[in-house]
């Protein structure tokens, strides 16, 4: 998606295209910073980092699935060990 046209509506409401909201997982209530670059140009950036947003999603999924951090760390250790053996240990 190159440039898109958006329109300022009543009370200054700006609607972002659905494609962008889906691509960047933007939800109602998400906060942004609007930077005035001068000469009518603006930069709109999310106030919540993508990493923090994804971390929140992972935490929700862990809770839904009943998986704890210790269990995930143990599984990661097992996977790391298996990867090491497969790629670096000569038999």
Query: What average pLDDT does this structure show over 42-61?
Result: 84
Strand, coil or helix: 32? strand
Q: Are residues 59 and 81 in the same domain?
A: yes
CA dist., res. 70 & res. 14, Å (int): 43
CA dist., res. 86 & res. 25, Å (int): 36
Q: Are residues 41 and 54 in the same domain?
A: no
Instruction: Tell me if 5 is assigned to some domain.
Output: no
Looking at the DSSP bridge assignments, the partners of residue 42 are: 36
Q: pTM of the prediction?
A: 0.47
Number of compact structural domains in the chain: 2
Q: What is the span of the domain harbouring residue 60?
A: 50-88
* Residue 88: predicted pLDDT: 92
Closest CA to 34 of 12, 11, 53: 12
Q: Are residues 18 and 42 in the same domain?
A: yes
Q: Are residues 33 and 59 in the same domain?
A: no
């Amino acid at each position: 998606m190159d440039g898109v046209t958006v329109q300022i509506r009543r009370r200054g409401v700006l609607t972002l295209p659905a494609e962008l909201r889906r691509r960047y997982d933007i939800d109602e209530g998400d906060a942004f910073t609007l930077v005035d670059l001068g000469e009518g140009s603006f930069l709109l950036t999310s106030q919540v980092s993508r990493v923090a947003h994804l971390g929140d999603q992972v935490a929700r999924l862990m809770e839904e699935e009943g998986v704890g951090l210790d269990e995930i760390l143990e599984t990661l250790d097992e996977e790391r060990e298996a990867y090491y053996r497969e790629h670096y240990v000569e038999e």
